[in-house]
Amino acid sequence: MIPGAFNYHRPASVTDAVKLLSTLGEDARPLAGGHSLVPMMKLRLATPSHLIDLQDVAGLKGIRREGDKVVIGAMTTQHELLASEEIRTTLPILQEAAAVIADPQVRYRGTIGGNVANGDPGNDMPALMMTLGAAYRLEGPNGAREIAASEFYQGAYFTALEPGEILTAVSIPAPAAGHGYAYEKLKRKVGDYATAGAAVVLTMAAGKVGACAIGLTNLHETPLLATDAANAVIGTSLDPATLEKAASAAQAIMSPASDARGPVEYRKHVGGIMVMRALQRAASRAS
C-alpha cells in the first residue's frame, strides 16, 4: 500500500526538531530509521501530516563512555551497535539482541532510538533496556529530562513522551565485570517479531546466582520486568526445579495476544522456555 500525503521536514538540530513537533502538534511524527513508522503509514495505521526526519540532527549519533555508564545516541543504528568495540566489551548483550533484529538491510538503517521510543511491544530493545536498568534522555519544549526505561512504557504504542519531546539518548549502567548475559528469541522466520523473547543479566559467586534481572519481549502490551522470576533464582545454583519455578513466575505476568504467532497458552509456554534457556546460557557465561 501507499502512505497518505504528508509534508517532509529535515531539521538540523534538536532545537529545530522540537520546535517543529511543538508547532505542528499531533499531526507530526519524528522519523528515525523508519522501519516501525513507515510500514504503519503504508497500512494507514498511522497517518501523520508531517514527518520530521532526524537524519541531519547533530549529536544524535555515537557511542561513548561517561564514567560508569555507556551513552548511546538515539540515531545510532543497530549495525553501529554490532560494530562497536565499546559495546562488545561492556554490553555484549546489546550485540546479541541487535543481531536477531530483522535482517542486515533493516539493521543498517534501524536505530536504537526508533526501536525503544515508539512503544511497539514486539520490538526487541525495550525489554533489554529495562533489564539493564537503562534511562532515556528526552528533550522537548520545556527542556531535557531523564526517565527510567522501566517507567517509560505505558501501553501498546503509548509511552511517557510528552507532546513535542524527542528521545535523544539512551544511558546504560555498565554491568559488573564477569556478568553473564543472554537474549533468547523465538520467531517464525528471519525478520519476524518474537513469538516470545527473554533477556537475562546476572552475576554468579561460588556457583550461585548473586544478582539477576529478567526482561520479557512481546509477551504483554508492554515490555516486562520479571522481578519475581529473577528473585526466585538468587542464591540458587539454577537447578532444574529453580528454573521451572522461575519460568512459572515469569509466565504469571505474561499476557500475550493470540495472533498468527500462536494462541495465548502456546506463547506463554514458549515464553517460559525462553526464560529458562536465557538463565542457563547467562550462567554459563558468568565468571
Alpha helices in the chain (DSSP H): 14-24, 37-42, 78-83, 85-90, 92-98, 104-109, 112-117, 125-131, 149-152, 227-233, 240-251, 264-285
Checking if the pLDDT of 95 tops 80, the result is yes
CATH topology of domain 63-173: 3.30.465
Q: Cβ(143)–Cβ(102) under 8 Å?
A: no
Residue 287: band (very low, low, confident or very high) from pLDDT cuts 50, 70, 90: confident
In angstroms, the CA 209 to CA 200 distance is: 12
Mean pLDDT taken over the chain: 95
Encode pLDDT of 68-79 as tens digits. Answer: 999 999 999 999
Q: pLDDT per residue over 118-154, tens digit each?
A: 899 999 999 999 999 999 999 999 999 999 999 999 9
Q: Would you place residue 37 in the very low, low, confident or very high pLDDT band (cuts 50, 70, 90)?
A: confident
Residue 134 is predicted with a pLDDT of 98
Report how far residue 238's alpha carbon sits from residue 132's, in angstroms, rounded to the nearest whole number. 21
C-alpha cell at 52: 520530521
Section 52-63 average pLDDT? 92
Q: What is the pLDDT of residues 213-237, one digit of tens each?
A: 999 999 999 999 999 999 999 999 9
Residue 276: pLDDT over 90: yes
Q: Which residue has the cell 535523544?
A: 168
Distance between first and last Cα of the chain: 51
Q: Give the residue extent of every domain in the chain.
A: 7-53, 63-173, 180-285
Quote the pTM value.
0.94
Q: What is the pLDDT of residue 79?
A: 96
User: What pLDDT score was predicted for residue 42?
Assistant: 86
Q: What is the structure's pLDDT at 126?
A: 97
Query: Between 3.30.470.10, 3.30.43.10, 3.90.190.20, 3.40.50.300, what CATH number should domain 7-53 receive?
Result: 3.30.43.10
Residue 154 confidence (pLDDT):
97
- Residues 167-200, buried b or exposed e (16+ Cβ, 10 A)? bbbbbbebbeeebbbbbbbbbeeeeebbbbbbbb
Q: Would you identify the CATH topology of the domain 180-285?
A: Enolase-like; domain 1 (3.30.390)
Query: Across residues 202-214, what is the average pLDDT?
Result: 97
- Confidence at residue 45, expressed as pLDDT on a 0 to 100 scale: 80
More confident residue, 284 or 45: 284
